[in-house]
Amino acid sequence: MKVLVIGGDGYCGWATSIHLSNRGFDVTIVDSLVRREWDREHGLASLVPIASMRRRIDEWSRVSGRTIRFCETDVTDYAALCRVVRDGAPDAIVHFGQQRSAPFSMIDHEHALRTHLNNTVANLNVLWALHEHAPDAHLVKLGTMGEYGTPNIDIEEGFLTVEHKGRTDSLPFPKQPGSFYHLTKVSDSDQIAFACRTWSLPATDLNQGVVYGTATNETELSPALANRYDYDHIFGTVLNRFCVQAALGHPLTVYGGGTQTRSFLDIRDTVRCVELALEHPARSGEYRVFNQFTETFAVGELAARVAGVARGRGLACEIMHLANPRTERESHYYNPVNTNLRALGLEPTRLSDATIAGLIALAQARATRVDLRLIPPRVEWRPAEPNEGAPAVA
């Protein structure tokens, strides 16, 4: 199967690209390398050094004997994207090529606009390029569980059966995005569903939870294949942040009360989910949604898990609660459904103490690369509250 991986230089995209290649897919990466520019712009860096794209691909060819092609192309450039799709004649497109940070999208108007242009406009370009040059190709698009928000009902997989005034219909699940980034993903989903109805495109929308971990079978083959380990206040994810803080003896910073609950999955499950979606494609005109996660955790629960593992390694580890910089519910019902991928054969990888210990150990080994100034939240999108007290330490 010929697959274009848009955004293949990113965290999920790189791991997926080499996994698919290792599984025998014919992979071409399409990426503008803009994420590297955003790191430079904001003074950020992956805890684990990331090789250049050319070095990554050359090393993959050396250790695997397989070839991945690379097109440095910005998918907001419609003409350039069309050339790639027309010349590549893909059987499927895996679309990861988006600005994926809620804090980035909330920095100011410019960053919100850049997120919109990079995500919403590029997604529209992908749909039109498929319509005009590869109408039978299967689109596998990375969405987010954050599209749903935290409704007071179970979160179904994309659709909800509604009874109203004696009539019943299956409608898109109501969305309550929590940032301008999440809002662009809602727009993406609407665009894709419309294209499927109108042009009979086949598409799978993977609403993914928060991903953790750095290692897959493929990234472990060589240091030059290493994946990102982001811990900063813009692109860093909560488990990464906690593990870096634990490694350096810094208090684990929990936003608010820590009762916010979210969906999570291991990066090894991410690549497997994409593979399953490709191996079992949507039908012509079908728009389907898979909730891509394996477990749910409250933020405070994660902090306690990390603190326990850190203390077991002889590290002093405290938990500090900060005023929540985000507008979000802290106490809420959260019960998402994830049956579709399991039905296709996904065997979930559970978060283990060994995984947490590995992330802490990796942070210890790279401690000289950590800049603790990049961890405290600097982007706020909630109304200011008067007389906020000092942080509480537990």
Mark whether 185 is an active-site residue.
yes
| Percent over 70 (pLDDT), the chain | 97
Q: What is the pLDDT of residues 111-137, one digit of tens each?
A: 999 999 999 999 999 999 999 999 999
| Pairing assessment for the beta strands 261-266 and 210-212 based on DSSP bridges | parallel
Q: How far apart are CA 98 and CA 6, in angstroms?
A: 9
| Pairing assessment for the beta strands 252-255 and 319-322 based on DSSP bridges | parallel
Strand partners, 262: 297
Q: Measuring CA to CA, which residue among 198, 188, 86 is closest to residue 137?
A: 86
Q: What is the pLDDT of residues 185-241, one digit of tens each?
A: 999 999 999 999 999 999 999 999 999 999 999 999 999 999 999 999 999 999 999
Mark whether 78 is an active-site residue.
no
Mark whether 229 is an active-site residue.
no
| Greatest extent of the chain over all pairs of C-alpha atoms, in Å | 65
**To the nearest whole number, what is the mean pLDDT of the chain?**
96
Of 11, 148, 181, 334, the catalytic one is: 181
Q: How far apart are CA 8 and CA 29, in angstroms?
A: 5
Domains belonging to the chain, first-starting first, are 2-212+267-293 (3.40.50.720)
Of 11, 28, 120, 185, the catalytic one is: 185
Give CA angle at 366 (98, 249), nearest 5°: 105
How many CA within 13 A on the CB side of residue 4?
30
Side chain identity at residue 324, one-letter code: N
Q: What is the pLDDT of residues 240-251, one digit of tens each?
A: 999 999 999 999
Of 28, 120, 144, 150, the catalytic one is: 144
Concatenating the DSSP letter of every residue in 321-357 gives EE---B---SS----B---HHHHHT-------HHHHH
Q: How far apart are CA 52 and CA 123, in angstroms?
A: 26
Whole-Å CA distances, 304 to 258, 296, 356: 10, 14, 12
Strand partners, 160: 171
3-state helix, strand, coil in the chain (%, to 5): 40, 20, 40
User: What is the pTM for the complete model shown?
Assistant: 0.95
Given a contact cutoff of 8 angstroms between Cβ atoms, the answer to whether 377 and 322 are in contact is yes
Spatial neighbors of 169 by CB under 8 A, at least 6 apart, are 161, 162
